[in-house]
Amino acid sequence: MSNNFYNHHTAVIDNDVIIGDKTKIWHFSHILSQSIVGKNCSIGQNVVIGPEVNIGNGCKIQNNVSIYKGVSIEDDVFLGPSCVFTNVINPRAFIERKDEFKPTMVKKGSSIGANATIICGVTIGEYAIVGAGSVVTKDVPAYSVVLGNPAAFYAYTSKNGEILNENLKSKTTGKAFLLKDGEIVEND
């Protein structure tokens, strides 16, 4: 384990985890066994990661987020306060279903808003945005913005998070974009 990261004295970090350089782990958070947290991450207050979870580089995980086994977070992902991940479709307190965990993937550069719920077994595509309070029950395509319960397509977004209108122009700057090979790119 590297010593080039910051952890608040109330944080609990199990012995067999890897924490990347310049990562900050704040109050009352717990990084469980066999988890990996990348470089330059910010882990907010009261966050639980693991066991056996991989967090990419440059991620920002806000307060009160729990990331359980079966969830993978790629680089540069933003997880808003109190967003929720599940790992079993039909949990029961009296039945152990650890062998039924469904993998969930959050791809590079995507953002999940505050209080959103991500049902296990889905993939959040690269640079996608899940709106605050949304409930994601199916895959979210790359560069898509989804809202609601259940979450539904609202618009496309640029890599920088600009919301695009139906003509793929930024609603704030008017800059034009193209959808090319599943990626939103600037129209030069």
What would the pLDDT profile of 157-180 be if each residue is shown by its tens digit? 999 999 999 999 999 999 999 999
For residue 158, the one-letter residue type is S
Q: Which two tokens stand for residue 9?
A: 């004295």
Q: Which domains does the chain have, with CATH numbers?
A: 6-186 (2.160.10.10)
Q: What is the pLDDT of residue 1?
A: 46
Distances (CA, A) of 118 to 47, 74, 137: 16, 16, 7
| Cβ neighbours, 10 Å, residue 99 | 6
For residue 77, the one-letter residue type is V
| Cβ neighbours, 10 Å, residue 31 | 27
Q: Is this model's pTM higher than 0.85 or not?
A: yes
What would the pLDDT profile of 99-147 be if each residue is shown by its tens digit? 999 999 999 999 999 999 999 999 999 999 999 999 999 999 999 999 9
Q: Can you tell me the distance from the alpha carbon of 100 to that of 120, in angstroms, rounded to the nearest whole number?
A: 11
